[in-house]
């Protein structure tokens, strides 16, 4: 097994095709195909299903990809170690968050200290945050819970209750508090399944003997905000994520003490030694300790 063969396999797998892998590696498609073919022939194993222009991983290919993800991530970490000062001047840190609001102060301090480092932030719910970390498509995650398992390094950022919110002109906007019985008379706007906010709300309602079916299910927090702001129904959000929006009014909920959202900064424990990841975690720890 040669390094170039393993690399060719890995890039075909993660990019989804031989042509895209060739572009990533600045090689020709025949060269990439030849390396993968030699790897398969040497070990008498099929790594890809090839059907016309579609390329998918076989079960053996999927298992090998799990190994090569770690292999090439360790390679990147070794490269970072050998060029530490350069990484902290011109690297890229990838963050996936259920809400970027929770890391804005940390991000501002990080950018101030390491102005040459690029940062990309993508959105997702708790499930997709975990998936992105395990697939090495993100370095840092932010989600509304403390995940179980020893594979994670975690920093608790804050803990605030879930609240309801409505449009400023909504008939119930002046209410001081809403009960579960109140909510039964109202159309509810909820996020997709997998959202920790929705899960926490439904679990607390169920424990109190109530079941709810949303009138509208929207993908993502911003979609829920826009729908509610238009005057349609009641949405739910953690108090820390409500922010400032004159179109909306936040209303506390009955049993809010059972609906606490713990926003947590996480990374894979095996990747905490990466220079950019470690630098971000150190700033996060100092910021949370000061609060």
Q: What is the pLDDT of residues 119-165, one digit of tens each?
A: 999 988 878 888 889 888 899 999 877 777 778 989 988 888 999 99
Q: For position 187, what pLDDT does the model report?
A: 96
- Identify the band that residue 255 occupies on the pLDDT scale cut at 50, 70 and 90: confident
Tokens of 155: 């920093």
Cα 257 from Cα 116, distance rounded (Å): 42
* CATH 3.40.190.10 placement within the chain: 82-141+265-290, 158-261
Q: What is the pLDDT of residue 102?
A: 84
Domain 158-261 class in CATH: alpha beta
Please state the pTM of the whole predicted model. Answer: 0.57
CATH number attached to the domain at 82-141+265-290: 3.40.190.10
137's CB contacts (< 8 A; 6+ apart) are 94, 96
pLDDT above 70: residue 291: no
Fold annotation for 3-69: Arc Repressor Mutant, subunit A (1.10.10)
Q: Which CA distances in Å does 232 have to 84, 102, 288?
A: 52, 27, 37
């Amino acid at each position: 097994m040669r390094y170039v063969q393993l690399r060719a396999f890995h890039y075909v797998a993660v990019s989804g095709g031989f042509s895209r892998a060739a572009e990533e590696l600045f090689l020709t498609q025949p060269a990439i195909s030849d390396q993968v073919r030699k790897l398969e022939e040497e070990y008498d194993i099929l790594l890809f299903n090839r059907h016309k222009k579609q390329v998918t991983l076989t079960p053996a290919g999927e298992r090998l990809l799990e190994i090569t993800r770690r292999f090439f991530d360790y390679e990147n970490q070794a490269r970072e170690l050998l060029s530490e000062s350069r990484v902290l001047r011109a690297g890229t840190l990838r963050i996936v968050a259920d809400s970027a609001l929770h890391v804005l102060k940390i991000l501002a301090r990080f950018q101030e200290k390491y102005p040459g480092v690029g940062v990309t932030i993508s959105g997702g719910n708790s499930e997709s945050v975990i998936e992105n970390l395990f697939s090495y498509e993100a370095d840092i995650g932010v989600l509304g819970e403390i995940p179980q398992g020893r594979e994670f390094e975690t920093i608790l950022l804050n803990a605030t209750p879930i609240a309801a919110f409505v449009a400023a002109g909504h008939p119930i906007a002046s209410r001081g508090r809403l009960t579960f019985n109140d909510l039964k008379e109202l159309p509810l706007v909820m996020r997709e399944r997998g959202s920790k906010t929705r899960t926490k709300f439904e679990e607390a309602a169920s424990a109190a003997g109530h079941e709810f079916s949303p009138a509208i299910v929207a993908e993502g927090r911003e979609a829920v905000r826009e729908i509610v702001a238009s005057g349609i129904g009641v949405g739910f959000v953690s108090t820390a994520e409500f922010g400032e929006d004159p179109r909306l009014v936040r209303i506390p909920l009955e049993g809010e003490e059972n609906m606490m959202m713990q926003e947590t900064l996480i990374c894979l424990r095996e990747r905490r030694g990466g220079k950019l990841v470690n630098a971000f975690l150190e700033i996060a720890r100092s910021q949370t300790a000061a609060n």
